[in-house]
Amino acid sequence: MPDTLYSDTIMSHYYHPQNYGLWPEFSAEQRYANPLCGDIITVRMRFDGERIEAVCFEHEGCVISRAAASLLCEDILGKTKQEIREIVYADIEGLLGIAVMPARLKCSILALEAIRRMV
């Protein structure tokens, strides 16, 4: 049996999330919560026209939702709003490097749901 439930990548992004902390200058902000488990995220984004120039977040919740938020925020930098609208749940699994169990799907897409509300 493995020593940990999650991969090194997931744990690294949980303990050292990228783009973490809310910056003061932003174009849009969205707070989103999963009432079933209590995970909460606030995402801020700055746009340069249709492109994502900067993104940051703060989060309270589980390992999967924080790691997914960190990985997704890295992934969307420089993408257009349309490219972000085309992200699907399987893309989040690809970023995480695992198949997400149905019970954890809401956790893994918490950040994506917040970001979709801003584009």
* Cβ neighbours, 10 Å, residue 10: 22
Tell me: the pLDDT tens digits for 34-93?
988 899 999 999 999 999 999 999 999 999 999 999 999 999 999 999 999 999 999 999
pLDDT of 7 reads 87
Give the residue from 5, 1, 6, 21 showing the smallest Cα distance to 67: 6
Residue 37: per-residue pLDDT: 86
Residue 81 near residue 55 (C-beta atoms within 8 A): no
Fold type of domain 8-116? Sufe protein. Chain: A (3.90.1010)
